[in-house]
Amino acid sequence: MRWLFLLCALVAAFDLFAGSSIEVCYDFGCKQRQSVTFDTLSLSKIAALFSSVKSPAEERQQLRLAIAEFELLAAQYTPTGNDVGENYREGMKETGQQDCIDESLNTSTYISYMLEQGWLKWHKLEERAFRAPWLFDQHWSAQISQINTGTRYVVDSWFFDNGQPAVIQTLADWLDKQEPIQP
């Protein structure tokens, strides 16, 4: 009977340090995909960002920071720490560089995870947003909507280097290509 107690204690201790696996993609158009397991301590730091949120606007501000934290965590296990904001010609050869397809899929995955954990109370995940004002100016972004108003926002981590807070702006401003505000 004592061995059963020790086995249960060992399993519980392992579970304490086990985290959640999330797929991260990179190298333009998600050419590379890697499953990353984030440790519970790191995830609890992200969860703490939402512990005292009192409004939708405050939740969006914390969401910007949470996306940055997820990117920093992913960079510990993938080459995404090399990601430089936007797409620059030299960066296309750099392993770990992300285009808007990679960024929008990863950000959507992170938001989905946060919703599953119950960290977000004021917003829900929507399909990714797409704009194509010109043939060679296409862009993708993660998208959320505020539950009580239906207002849609993009959550766009493509503009800045890995680990910087994401841009959150209304879908209308994003579609009009309003200049994003530096984090």
**For 116-140, what is each residue's pLDDT tens digit?**
999 999 999 999 999 987 767 799 9
- Overall number of domains in the chain: 1
Residue linked to tokens 């984090």: 183
Calculate the CA 34 to chain-centre distance.
15
101 backbone dihedrals φ, ψ, rounded to 5°: -65, -50
Cβ 125 vs Cβ 108: under 8 Å: yes
Report yes or no on 12 lying in a domain.
no
Tokens (6 digits) for 22: 């999330």
Does some domain include residue 152? yes
Residues 6 or more apart whose Cβ sits within 8 Å of residue 38? 19, 20, 21, 22, 70, 73
Where residue 10 falls among pLDDT bands split at 50, 70, 90? very low
pLDDT in tens, 46-83: 999 999 999 999 999 999 999 999 999 999 999 999 99
**Does 1 or 35 have the greater pLDDT score?**
35
Q: Report if residue 5 sits inside a domain.
A: no
Q: Which residue has the tokens 């505000």?
A: 181
Amino acid at 135: L
Q: Is residue 182 part of a domain?
A: no
In a domain, 139, yes or no: yes
128 sits in which H/E element: strand 123-131
Contact 17, 40 (CB under 8 A): yes
- Asked whether residue 49 is domain-assigned, the answer is yes
CA dihedral (149, 151, 157, 160) positive or negative? negative
Beta bridge partner(s), residue 34? 24
Indicate whether 14 belongs to any domain: no
Look at the chain and count its residues: 183
Structure confidence at residue 183 as a pLDDT band (50, 70, 90): low
Confirm whether 122 is domain-assigned: yes
For residue 48, give its domain range. 20-175
pTM comes to 0.87
Give residue-wise pLDDT tens across range 142-159.
999 999 999 999 999 999
